[in-house]
Amino acid sequence: MDNLIDYESTLLDHHLPPFTDYKGLAKDGIRIISNASGNYIFDNEGNKILDAMAGLWCVNIGYGRDELAEVAKEQILRLPYYNSFFKTNNIPAANLSKKLSEITPQGLNHTFFANSGSEANDTIIRMVRHYWALKGEPQKRIIIGREYGYHGSTIMSASMGGMVDMHNQAAKENDFHHIPAPYSFKYKGNQSEDLFAETSSNWLEEKILELGKDKIAAFVAEPIQGAGGVIIPPNGYFEHIQEICKKYNILFIADEVITGFGRTGEWFASQKMNLSPDMMTLAKGLTSGYIPMSAVMVGEKVANTFIEEGGEFYHGFTYSGHPVAAAVALENLNIIERENLITKVSSETIPYFASKIKALNDHPLVGEARSFGLLACVELVKDKSGPELFSNVGETGMICRDFCIQNGLMMRAVRDGMIMSPALTITKNEIDEIINKFEIALEQTMKKII
């Protein structure tokens, strides 16, 4: 059935995939992933590939779960859709918001639903505007983020539309500024970890003072930066950051789209790292990617202001709180609980994964191999001493990535860092398989680049 389609011409003639150089794609061709099971994906040529990325950091419970298909089918038959604009709600969305308030850090008790991480972050930007306007400080508009921070790709969509009420709560020029990431591999040099935690968090204070402290609305950060290359902050970094946010009365937003739902060995990295965000972004692992859904967790300070002060929040999506997505999300969370995945991951899988990643530091091509929970990055370098990086950034990473795929291993390259983010269901044998295949790819890469 599927196989009758002429994939090559169909895709190149009609489908424009995201984050793609279309000219390059026309030259290289495209791989069709046709089915998946457990932690493996299969392409239409019959290749079996171990998925060390859990899709795109999202398939936390692995592929092929009947339960999710069952609840989706049941919910589609019962109530496939109804909006929540007309003072209406549906049962799965109501139950999911209750469940999320139980598993997220204390104080985050309200949920606003959207369909993607990008939309959830757009929602947060508008909420931040709404909050400071209600507080009588509408000049607080600037949101400070970080170099290599990734928060999605739709941020400015509302500004392109013509709804004036929405514009006032949306983005203007100069609303976003960035500080360097706490990227030890790049910036730490000879500093101790404690000192680097101070230096790198002070970048926030310097930026606040540079821009004017009464204009700053919020600081946003992924606890571990994912798409930026699995950047793990030094111990103490967020402690300082949170003090600075308090000192200047700015909201602290944790984007947990990747780090949520067990990936760090707790429900959320905020719990693991002792963070108390005012708002939190959730997506990806919320449904394990089986169906699109995202959520903004809103803390008491912000939610109570909305509820007490009133004034319409001009924002929402047709599919906010979609009943089928919410039913799938709830069952996904049930599975994580029923199978004790978080305990299992923190007591067994993460320590095993960490020891295997650490051992890669001995390889001549590896400048640094680091991991946090089930997130890892292996930085490839030209010369370990120094270390000396490759001058043509990204080329070696791409070569290594292609060898990985050829060997039946799906990994991602960010610059020359090789990224892993396996499912919570990854077994020790599968971790061994990842490492074996990756080591072969490292050898092949070395041969090719000298």
What is the closest distance, in whole angstroms, from the C-beta atom of residue 361 to ligand PLP in the complex? 26
Q: What binding mask, one character per residue, do residues 274-293 give for ligand PLP by CB under 6 A, x or -?
A: ---------x----------
Residue span binding ligand PLP (CB under 6 A) among the ranges 21-29, 183-191, 220-228, 363-371 = 220-228
Binding piece for ligand PLP, criterion CB under 6 A, among 71-79, 128-136, 149-157, 416-424: 149-157
Binding status of residue 146 toward ligand PLP by CB under 6 A: no
CA 271 – CA 265 distance, rounded (Å): 10
Closest residue to ligand PLP: CB criterion: 117
Binding of residue 150 to ligand PLP (CB under 6 A):
yes
Please select the residue that binds ligand PLP; options are 208, 258, 275, 431, rule is CB under 6 A: 258
222 binds ligand PLP (CB under 6 A): yes
**140: CB partners within 8 A, 6+ apart:** 132, 214, 215, 216, 217, 250
Nearest to 281 by CA among 254, 306, 252: 254
For the CA atoms of 237, 217, 284, 147, the dihedral, rounded to the nearest 10 degrees, stands at -50
- How far are the Cα atoms of 183, 337, 406 from residue 438, in angstroms, in the given order? 24, 31, 11
Interior angle at CA 230, CA 229 and CA 236, nearest 5: 130
**Residues touching ligand PLP, count (CB under 6 A):** 14
Q: Does 423 bind ligand PLP (CB under 6 A)?
A: no
Minimum CB separation from ligand PLP for residue 58, in Å? 8
Shortest CB 108 distance to ligand PLP, Å: 17
Q: Which of residues 152-171 bind ligand PLP (CB under 6 A)?
A: 152
420 binds ligand PLP (CB under 6 A): no
Rule CB under 6 A: say whether 117 interacts with ligand PLP. Answer: yes
Under the binding rule (CB under 6 A), the answer on residue 226 touching ligand PLP is yes
Binds ligand PLP by CB under 6 A, chosen from 125, 158, 216, 227: 227
Stretch binding ligand PLP (CB under 6 A), from 97-105, 112-120, 128-136, 412-420: 112-120
Q: How far is the CB of 237 from ligand PLP (least distance, A)?
A: 17
Cβ of residue 450: shortest distance to ligand PLP, in angstroms? Answer: 34
Shortest reach from residue 137's CB to ligand PLP, in Å? 27
- 421 touches ligand PLP by CB under 6 A: no
Which of 71, 143, 257, 303 binds ligand PLP (CB under 6 A)? It is: 257
Q: How far is the CB of 231 from ligand PLP (least distance, A)?
A: 12
Give dist(CA 144, CA 102) in Å, integer: 29
Q: Is 373 in the site for ligand PLP (CB under 6 A)?
A: no
**Count of beta carbons in the 10 Å neighbourhood of residue 94:** 15
Least distance from ligand PLP to the Cβ atom of residue 2, Å: 25
Q: How far apart are CA 286 and CA 330, in angstroms?
A: 8
The answer to the question of residue 233 lying near ligand PLP (CB under 6 A) is: no
Interaction between residue 151 and ligand PLP (CB under 6 A): yes
Among residues 90 and 118, whose Cβ is nearest to ligand PLP? 118
In 3D space, the residue among 181, 78, 130, 166 whose CA is nearest the CA of residue 296 turns out to be 130
Q: Which residues bind ligand PLP (CB under 6 A)?
A: 116-118, 121, 150-152, 222, 226-227, 255, 257-258, 283
